[in-house]
């Protein structure tokens, strides 16, 4: 161990050579370790459940139901946008939900997540059942993202569907020479796969165009399987549920994938305002 000038403690590599005995001990896995590892894997499993019966789906979601259009909202602002503008303009039926647990979840119990907890819901439009929507307000950890993709898309997805992903990131993640104070946040940027030919409704994310978490996993998956997909990323300086951030997604309503799904915009704005007031969380830390 060594201390740096700043007082951090860093592990310095040992120049005396590796100790063989220590390494062997570390490699031997006891049955207890195996048990713990299996328990942890079971706890962190991503389960896709059918709506009515609450039983697990045997095949992946998109293998079971044919899909031409899939809109995924990840994060509370994106979910609020879809809830107010898209889900209120048609009749959507819940098809299933994904239940998962990781360290970011507030509850310790993975089996009894109530419907008000952060979760992942899948819906399809009653008038056109090949249009799917996913509202994901929980955090899907790195080790769970592959499972999620497998359970939703399957191991051999159809190529004739179009994926649209909506999510938010904090403006400090946006790589730029300017200071974050001078950026016009919230603002929208897009990142698309090679097979997505339609124009985006906002500028593309400039280099270094790095995205994280589940949206990145979905885009990578779509790029590998040559599925046309686009990610609309809203950079904002207010990460909690915020009216101005949600309204920054509005340009997407004019794109080909969402235009046909949205009917009544003024009513949607009213619904959004109501959603904001019911979700207001008081914090005394910040005045």
Interhelix angle for 76-85 vs 265-278, to 10°?
140
User: Can residue 277 be called a binding residue for another protein (CB under 8 A)?
Assistant: yes
Cβ-based nearer residue to another protein, 54 or 274: 274
- Residues 238, 243, 244, 250: is their CA dihedral positive or negative? positive
Q: Provide the token pair at 218.
A: 């979905």
Residue appearing with tokens 């990610």 = 231
Cβ-based nearer residue to another protein, 162 or 236: 236
According to DSSP, the β-strands at 128-136 and 69-74 are parallel
Q: Provide the token pair at 12.
A: 């310095």
User: Can residue 210 be called a binding residue for another protein (CB under 8 A)?
Assistant: no
User: Can residue 278 be called a binding residue for another protein (CB under 8 A)?
Assistant: no
Q: In the set 2, 3, 6, 127, which binds another protein (CB under 8 A)? A: 6
DSSP state of 98: E
Cβ-based nearer residue to another protein, 127 or 283: 283
Q: Which residue stretch of 22-30, 76-84, 174-182, 257-265 sits at the interface with another protein (rule: CB under 8 A)?
A: 174-182
Q: In the set 104, 244, 259, 260, which binds another protein (CB under 8 A)? A: 244
DSSP state of 260: T
User: Can residue 243 be called a binding residue for another protein (CB under 8 A)?
Assistant: yes
How far is Cα of residue 273 from the mean position of the Cα atoms in its chain? 23
Q: Which residue stretch of 12-20, 30-38, 179-187, 261-269 sits at the interface with another protein (rule: CB under 8 A)?
A: 179-187
Residues 6 or more apart from 52 whose CB is under 8 A from it? Answer: none
User: Can residue 287 be called a binding residue for another protein (CB under 8 A)?
Assistant: yes
Residues that bind another protein (CB under 8 A): 6-8, 172, 179-181, 184-185, 237-238, 242-244, 273, 276-277, 280, 282-287
């Amino acid at each position: 161990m060594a201390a740096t000038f700043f007082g951090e403690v860093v592990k310095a590599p040992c120049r005396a050579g590796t100790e063989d005995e220590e390494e062997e001990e570390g490699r031997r896995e006891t049955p207890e370790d195996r048990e713990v590892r299996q328990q942890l894997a079971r706890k962190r499993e991503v389960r896709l459940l059918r709506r009515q019966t609450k039983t697990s789906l045997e095949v992946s979601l998109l293998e079971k139901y044919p899909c031409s259009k899939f809109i995924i909202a990840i994060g509370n602002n994106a979910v609020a946008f879809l809830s107010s503008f898209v889900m209120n303009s048609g009749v959507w039926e819940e098809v299933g939900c994904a239940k998962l647990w990781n360290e970011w979840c507030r509850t310790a119990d993975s089996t009894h997540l109530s419907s008000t907890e952060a979760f992942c819901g899948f819906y399809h439009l009653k008038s056109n059942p090949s249009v799917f929507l996913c509202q994901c307000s929980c955090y899907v950890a790195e080790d769970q993202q592959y499972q999620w993709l497998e359970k939703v898309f399957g191991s051999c997805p159809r190529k004739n569907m179009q994926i649209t992903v909506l999510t938010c990131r904090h403006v400090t993640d946006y790589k730029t020479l300017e200071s974050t104070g001078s950026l016009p946040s919230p603002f929208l940027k897009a990142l698309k796969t090679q097979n997505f030919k339609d124009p985006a409704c906002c500028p593309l994310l400039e280099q270094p165009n790095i995205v994280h978490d589940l949206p990145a996993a979905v885009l990578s998956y779509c790029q590998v399987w040559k599925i046309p997909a686009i990610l609309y990323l809203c950079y904002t300086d207010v990460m909690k549920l915020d009216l101005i951030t949600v309204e920054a997604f509005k340009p997407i309503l004019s794109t080909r994938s969402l235009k046909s799904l949205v009917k009544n915009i003024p009513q949607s704005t009213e619904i959004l305002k109501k959603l904001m007031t019911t979700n207001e969380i008081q914090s005394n830390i910040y005045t």
